[in-house]
Amino acid sequence: MALTKDEVRHIAALAHLALSDEEIALYQEQLSAILDYAARLQAIDTSDVPPTATVLPLVSVLREDVPTEPLPRDEALANAPDAEANCFFVPPVLPPEKA
């Protein structure tokens, strides 16, 4: 599908690109080649090919979830910016409600 120079200018305007005449000619050729290739792909009969999410085997990169002893509270709070009553202290993010 060959694009015209006006169509390339329109696409450039949609993308907010300022193109020179040389760039318009270059992109006209390149975009037309891309659309021709997409048309060739559309012509391929894929009716016997099942839909596929990935062609790679599914492999989990995560380790098995194995329960362990929890981190001691003192170690968990050791690097906290602020702690109060053996808990993380987080300043309020919402203004207090008026009664």
In the chain, what are the domain boundaries? 5-42
Q: Which CATH superfamily is domain 5-42 in?
A: Glu-tRNAGln amidotransferase C subunit, N-terminal domain (1.10.20.60)
Q: Count Cβ atoms below 10 Å from residue 77 Cβ, excluding itself.
A: 16
pLDDT of residue 95 exceeding 90 = no
pLDDT of residue 97 exceeding 70 = yes
Type of residue found at 60: S
Question: Can you give the pLDDT at residue 61?
Answer: 87
Residue 16, Ramachandran bin (φ over 0: left; ψ between -120 and 50: alpha; else beta): left
Question: Can you give the pLDDT at residue 55?
Answer: 85
pTM score, two decimals? Answer: 0.50
pLDDT, tens digit, 9 for 90 and up, residues 3-18: 999 999 999 999 999 9
Question: Can you give the pLDDT at residue 13?
Answer: 97
pLDDT of residue 99 exceeding 70 = no
pLDDT, tens digit, 9 for 90 and up, residues 34-61: 999 999 999 999 999 888 888 888 888 8
Give yes or no for a contact between 14 and 26, defined as CB atoms under 8 angstroms apart.
Answer: no
Give the mean pLDDT of the chain.
Answer: 91
